[in-house]
Structure 1
């Protein structure tokens, strides 16, 4: 009888925990988009296990930043852009757009091209651009057709595709003692290639567009629940748990992608990846066809998860700046400018596929651009989350500020080093 009661309690706790998972989980999962997968794969191929430690380092930093953004969204009831517009000079708002929008558009184009490239590997009869059009069309239909709650549910289930990446290392021989050493003992090389990949890793894990998405989705989530929840300490704790779980899952996947490419590609003598499909194809002779198919499907799945987040982020940024009606829960007819921005960002992203830049390079450039622009946005988030006029009693605690300023210092040092090595 006692055992049965304990089982019921455990099931109840699990259901309660799963119920609180939402914006934080989706945000964390979308961080492992094709841009992230490409960056982590290149890191592993180029430096073996030498960058595994970054998964451990970045978790508390990205978790702290995303928790601040989620808290801003819940407390203010609006996204970062809306909060900046209401409480700060317009110059700061326009600078934020200038830093963020180009990188996000490049990210969209690179992700779509990456999805098209790996889909072409699996079914070669369809050309890459044909696949790009199919993915863009399907995603656009889903974003416009379904309300926010339906999209959120689809995105939550899509998170499961990330589990595919955890499987691959167990299909090959791994020296786990070397993995443990590389995880807990950082390796640093002060040269252009290593610093570039380090900035790319930092940029793709602590991505500015995720700040906007987290705040906006948290504000929309609370708007949907406003009749059933009270924003108090307990609710904010649940928000934090959601964010921390999402970021933890994201970094676990990051760890295993670096591990896979470090063990399989680096040890197989493949140290340079020029295209996303090359990264997937390189796995086939070294780890088997099944591993290659899993990797390719992971690229497509993460792209389907990330592109609604990327296009939505841009639309919320632009829409809140110019005072449009915004919201994925709104129908197309009542928020035409908002959805038009989504359509335009997708079209521009698709057009970048004709620029002659390989998908892997575009993805790496995106991550580096994020790494260079992040310090500015980190300072903005820190200022807002410490502003009592905006946040009331829900301002940052000591540990949030310590983690936030450490994140700023790390991103700034990495960016300065990258600029130095680029010109010297």
Structure 2
């Protein structure tokens, strides 16, 4: 029987292979994938406990249970998780009757932004339900024996949060403006070119929050984003850090933001302003350059568009660029995510200087906010987004996150307003109305 996180949480492992109990376990995972005749919304299928999700436009993956798991931390968190995963993938016995990206052996993961502090997690669910291009499937994972396909049916409907109140997190808005001003001073002095600063907001409800409620609302309100949940961290990210699928690698870079007004004609004018903004174009260029430089060593060819497009979301608009390449080695999507993290879109430029500035002046622990979140399969293909527009649920408390790219021309008041706009998706999703 798989270890239940509700009772003992996930096993803590750093650089050794382990089974779900935390001790060495050479018993292979046995995996079976079969087609499923069910058109229910994926998020309606997940139970309240041990749920996992990666959904966009009604397609993607959801899962529950923990057939195997690992927690890692520190500078080797990606490498340790990757070695653990490769060992399980090599030893797994797989019967896959569907053969689509996301079938067979799959793990969901979420990684800490910084080397310290923070803990990362990779989970192989006991059950995965996936949908792609009109095909739906169910994967069942066990140890030693082939399990019968799991029974899949809509779960009980989540109840909305009640009595939700919001307060500032680690620092107030006024204090955060001072932090932004300090970052601008350092940039102007030539210490660095760009740094991304984040702040948090705390929400408290009357009772324990069922994470499926905000997940379903985010999926409905932001269908263009990737709605995710791994080990308490949930959100709807517009930014794909890296996708690897059958030799093609893609990354969506977002940097440069303007708030929407709700008036279509006014928003079109604002989009044109964003596309011409020297401040936002400068911020965006740093982010694209960092992604292209990180992917180049692994690709035989790359396509990096000369100019960004404007991505329209319900609450904001972003400058966006889709970088693509053909991979020429067996580097997995998780290893590519490690190579890309942190991009200038969530860290800054130069990377090491920006990370040091964040640690020194930001004033909070990001945890897994702005780290890679997503899934991977046994072939090394998968999708890792950046955990943006996200929050962490802990009982009846939710910690919301938002960040802004700071360059020499940034104005603290404007950056605070941008951060407030980025809180809106999760804030609305847990409002309970």
TM-score range, shorter chain: under 0.3
Higher strand residue share: 2
